[in-house]
Amino acid sequence: MIRRLHFLLALIALASACTAAIRNTSGAAEAALMQSDRDFAVETHARGIDGWMSFFAPDAIRIRYRDNMVRGLDAIRRFDLPGISDTTSTLNWEPTDAYVFRGGGIGSTTGRYWVVSRKPGDAGKQLGHGRYVTMWRNDGGRWLVIVDTGYPEP
């Protein structure tokens, strides 16, 4: 448990504490990565679990909040299917920052997420919110998720 917590903290620190010295300073790369994160949300809303999974690399890892990691496409699909397929709520997210590291092959996005009710009589009510960190790999000009995690805010 302690090792997982250290890994998560290191990942968040890496994504949050990037400096201009290790960033790709073109700005265009970060803009493209931000757009990929937004496209990830659009595809998930449009196609459900298939849209969600279309952005994950085959070797991806999902870090579950206060739990073990989930590795690989099949395990991630099994883990995320109930939440993504839930017709009583919608997961929304918006990136706030993107970093592309030197060489342009690895990047990260951070942002906010919120879950909204779709139940009749409760539609539109926010059920929860938090922050997320997603690590990406540029694979032939397409950004794919390699590590994804989030945590709720009180």
Domain ranges of the chain: 2-152
50: pLDDT strictly greater than 50? yes
- Whether 52 and 84 have beta carbons less than 8 Å apart is answered as yes
Q: In whole angstroms, what is the distance from residue 154 CA to residue 145 CA? A: 26
132: pLDDT strictly greater than 90? yes
Model pTM score: 0.82
Q: Higher pLDDT residue, 15 or 99?
A: 99
Query: If you average pLDDT over residues 145-151, what whole number do you get?
Result: 97
In degrees and rounded to multiples of 5, residue 115 shows phi and psi of: -110, 130
Q: What is the pLDDT of residue 112?
A: 98
Chain segment 55-98, per-residue pLDDT in tens: 999 999 999 998 899 999 999 999 999 999 999 999 999 999 99
CATH of domain 2-152: 3.10.450.50
Q: Higher pLDDT residue, 97 or 9?
A: 97
Chain segment 10-35, per-residue pLDDT in tens: 444 444 444 443 444 569 999 999 99
Least trusted range by pLDDT, from 3-7, 52-56, 111-115, 119-123? 3-7
Q: What is the pLDDT of residue 154?
A: 83
Place 37 in a pLDDT band, splitting at 50, 70 and 90: very high
CA 122 to chain centre: 27
Place 5 in a pLDDT band, splitting at 50, 70 and 90: very low
CA 18 to chain centre: 18
Burial of 7 (0-12, 13-18, 19+ CB in 10 A): middle
